[in-house]
Structure 1
């Protein structure tokens, strides 16, 4: 079975973006190379994105679609035509994701956002969390983990240092 992996950066106080969806705080931190992104990116062949995150990427990304060489699925509640880069999914998240996990291939990356992640957590679909923490406190914003009735028990698989960033790699005990 393939693993469903969350690979994401967060502020020290647990936010993935400011209230106005800015990531400026993240890019002010001095990292090392690409902070492990390229190495991680090689371990996945499928990308899952929520519609809000997809819209943010399309608005802020200049040039080519960033996940062009991967199978890319965007979860949405609206019927939207697929395009050359993504397939829009409004099926049941659990059955669709389990179908993907049972196919041959590399890991599956949860790019974001918070609502999609919460659905995956509630349904116990997440297998690994690779969390890169920036030494920044932003006070409020979009939280990595939304408040809810769930609990995740994790096992630390490793840590890495990328200059000012710390990466924590956890396995999820389902």
Structure 2
């Protein structure tokens, strides 16, 4: 069974984006450092994104995940042509991801956003969480955590702190399916 990895950065006060959806507060990695991003990309062949997150990624320029299969969850698929590696999904995420995990392939990267992540976390479909805590207080914005219907134990796999203050908290989610 394929695993789902939630790899995401959040401000110290728990926001994944500014109130307007921007992520310009995220620091650029120091020279020669990528916070494990290349290792993550080598371990996955699929991404999961909510529509808002997808539209945010489009503002960064060229589509960065062209070598991966990308599923964007939305109730209203856009009429504009997307990158060939992007498929818009109107099916309920829990059902879709449950089936996707049964298919052959590498790990699946849950990019975000928080609404999509909340439904998959609640359903026990997220196997690992790699949370990068950014040493920045936003004060307001789009929260990482949406209300969960139940508590969920997690097991710390490792931590890593970089000299710039970026901290990785890497967890195994004990209640994953």
The verdict on a shared fold, with TM-score over 0.5 as the criterion, is yes
TM score, norm. by length of structure 1: 0.91
Q: How does 1:80-159 map to 2 (within 5 A)?
A: 80=78, 83=82, 84-159=84-159
8 Å CA contact retained: 2:22, 2:56: no
**Secondary structure, aligned partner of 1:5:** strand
Residue 55 of structure 1: aligned partner: 55
Q: RMSD over aligned Cα, in angstroms?
A: 1.8
Residue 74 of structure 2: aligned partner: 76
8 Å CA contact retained: 1:2, 1:101: yes
8 Å CA contact retained: 1:49, 1:110: yes
8 Å CA contact retained: 1:32, 1:162: no
Q: Distance in 1 between matches of 2:35 and 2:106?
A: 21
Residue 6 of structure 1: aligned partner: 6
| Superposed displacement of residue 25, structure 1 | 2.0
Q: Deviations over 1:27-60 (max 9, x none)?
A: 26758611111111111100000011111111x2
TM score, norm. by length of structure 2: 0.90
Q: Distance in 2 between matches of 1:52 and 1:31?
A: 30
Q: Distance in 1 between matches of 2:12 and 2:63?
A: 29
Q: Which consecutive unaligned segments of at least 5 residues does structure 2 have? A: none
8 Å CA contact retained: 2:7, 2:110: yes
Aligned residues: 172
Q: Distance in 1 between matches of 2:77 and 2:33?
A: 39
Q: Distance in 1 between matches of 2:139 and 2:41?
A: 30
Q: Distance in 1 between matches of 2:70 and 2:123?
A: 21
Q: Deviations over 1:65-101 (max 9, x none)?
A: 1100001010010244674120100012122101110
Residue 38 of structure 1: aligned partner: 38
8 Å CA contact retained: 2:3, 2:127: yes
Structure 1 pair 31–98 and aligned structure 2 pair: CA distance change class (3 A): farther
Alignment of 1:173 with 2:171, yes or no, is no
Structure 1 pair 15–31 and aligned structure 2 pair: CA distance change class (3 A): farther
**Secondary structure, aligned partner of 2:100:** helix
